Amino acid sequence: MIKILAKRAQIASRELANLSTETKNKVLADMSAALLANQELIIKANAKDIAQAKKAKLKPALIERLTLDEKRVREMADGLLELTKLTDPVGEIIKEWERPNGLRIQKVRVPIGVIAIIYESRPNVTSDCAGLCFKSGNSVILRGGSEAFASNHAIYQCLRQALKDNGVSEGAICMIISKEHAAVDELLKLNGYIDLVIPRGGEALIQRVVEISRIPVIKHYKGICHVYVDEWADLNMAENICFNAKVQRPGVCNAMECMLVNEHAAARFLPGMLKKFKQSGVEIRGDEFTRKIADWAKKATQKDYRTEYLDLILSVKVVKDVQEAIRHINIYSSHHSDSIITQNQKNAEEFLRQVDSACVYVNASPRFTDGRQFGMGAEIGISTDKIHARGPMALEELTSYKYVVRGNGQIRQ
């Protein structure tokens, strides 16, 4: 069954690769309109999921993420419409050159083919991911969480109708209806039909996908992000950035989980900063130095340095110099986003060069790691992998390339 679905997606992907930008934008606009037109149906389906979730005693936070209302449906519809304004990456000539024998070589951007997205809870992922894959010319196979089953299916029906209305193969957007784990396991072994898997969700989900998959996986692991306040930092700026990085939205992957402070700045910086955190309800888990300044702080353990709190909790450590900060980050960071605050050019450049993370910042909040904030217009996630795509992934990152070679009879000597 899953194989038939994947075959359909593959056949559709060949058609999709050659659709004009105009047609793709028309379909996206129709998808957007279909979501709005079927708003009631979607919210009704969502109510079923919510009732089920309450019966299963899911956590309130999870239920909140699952919930769709008029505003959220409108946001999904707006998201699809926004995609029509973004540049179509397909067909872009990335590079071209001529060889001494007269062969003209072009490196041309093409879709990847068939992408499987395996995700949890938020139903808006259904339309966001389907839209991004469609605009970049890829077929998509969607497999949402069982807790959002009815909502995802209702959204999917709207997208499918828009494909149908425009004469585009419905294989372009597929959804796995089975709630069985076995369906995903089967999917993950279809490496002849599916070109890429993107899991979106918790660490357990991602690890399970990596364990089973025979298809390349781009992982969007957790964010254990650091801000290092250097000896030469503008301490006012440091306070603003650290506060923003922790407090503005603590539940996201680009929030700060660990603050490193240079020992020569600590006495000047920490008292005011920690007080400000305390006033905002941030629990501090500090090393010895930190706890001397704030005796109310808990003791940080090795485990703390490896934890993505996603909450108003922060580990704090005082370090000797920028090199110790870099070493700590390269060991404990999840290689997502890390920041240095300093007015010292040399320290800044050392940090930027040596910290091995997808996004490295000087004098700015790591909270900017985001496709929209980077100017990509949208994002399918933040890759913590180094293969194919790293950091925010948007349309360009959903493409591959091929070499187009034009000759006039050249043969190999």
Binding site for its own copies (CB under 8 A): 14, 17-18, 97, 99, 103, 105, 110, 112-113, 191, 195-196, 210-211, 214, 216-218, 234, 237, 240-241, 243-245, 248-249, 330, 348, 352-354, 356-365, 367-369, 373-375, 385-388, 390-391, 400-412
Q: Which helix (H) or strand (E) holds 226?
A: strand 225-229
| Contacts for 59 with CB less than 8 Å, ≥ 6 apart | none
Q: How far is the CB of 108 from its own copies (least distance, A)?
A: 9
Q: Which of 276, 240, 283, 266 is nearest to 319 (CA)?
A: 266
Least separation in angstroms between residue 234's CB and its own copies is 7
- Closest CB to its own copies among 165 and 203? 203
Q: How far is the CB of 356 from its own copies (least distance, A)?
A: 7
Give the nearer residue to its own copies in terms of CB position, either 71 or 412: 412
- The answer to whether the CB of 46 falls within 8 A of the CB of 53 is no
Q: How far apart are CA 42 and CA 45, in angstroms?
A: 5
Cα 374 to Cα 179, 251, 368, 378: the distances in Å are 36, 20, 7, 9
Residue type for position 322: V
Smallest distance from the beta carbon of 41 to its own copies, in angstroms? 35
335: helix, strand or coil: coil
In the complex with its own copies, which residue's Cβ is closer, 195 or 304? 195
> Minimum distance between the CB of residue 170 and its own copies, rounded to whole angstroms?
20
Closest separation in Å from C-beta 311 to its own copies: 18
Q: Which is nearer to its own copies, 286 or 366 (by Cβ)? A: 366
Instruction: Yes or no: say if 158 and 36 are a contact pair by the CB < 8 Å rule.
Output: no
Which residues have C-beta within 8 Å of that of residue 44, sequence separation ≥ 6?
154
Do the Cβ atoms of 225 and 191 come closer than 8 Å? no
β-bridge mates for residue 298, sequence order? 285
User: What are the beta bridge partners of residue 174?
Assistant: 141
Reduced to 3 states, what is the DSSP secondary structure of residue 315? strand
Beta carbon nearer to its own copies, 68 or 90: 90
When the beta carbons of 191 and 280 are compared against its own copies, the nearer one is 191
CB of 362 to its own copies, least distance (A): 5
| Closer of 129 and 255 to its own copies (Cβ) | 255
